Amino acid sequence: GMGGAPGSGQISVRSYNRNFQGRSGTKDAFVYLASPVSCAVFAIKGEIVDSRESGIKIGSFEEPSKYLINRSFIMR
């Protein structure tokens, strides 16, 4: 995860785009990139699986046609 270095030769799955050799802090770790949804499924299942076939119902949402932004420019 963020800020943690996997052990030598260990596997880590991350959802942020800093994926190059040695970036995890361990030169010989296996670091994979995945979507946040996939990472959540992997954490729940305890293994890397196809999240579409995991048996876990993954919700979805539609993007709003208009965003409400207040004077401090914070989106709601």
pLDDT digits (tens, 9 = 90+) for 33-68: 899 999 999 999 999 999 889 999 888 778 888 877
Structure tokens at 48: 């890397």
Q: Which residue has the higher pLDDT, 26 or 45?
A: 45
Ramachandran quadrant class, 46 (left: phi over 0; alpha: psi -120 to 50; beta: rest): left
**pTM value?**
0.63
Write down the pLDDT at residue 55: 92
The SS3 assignment for 36 reads: helix
Write down the pLDDT at residue 3: 65
Alpha carbon distances (Å) from 34 to 1, 10, 24: 12, 16, 15
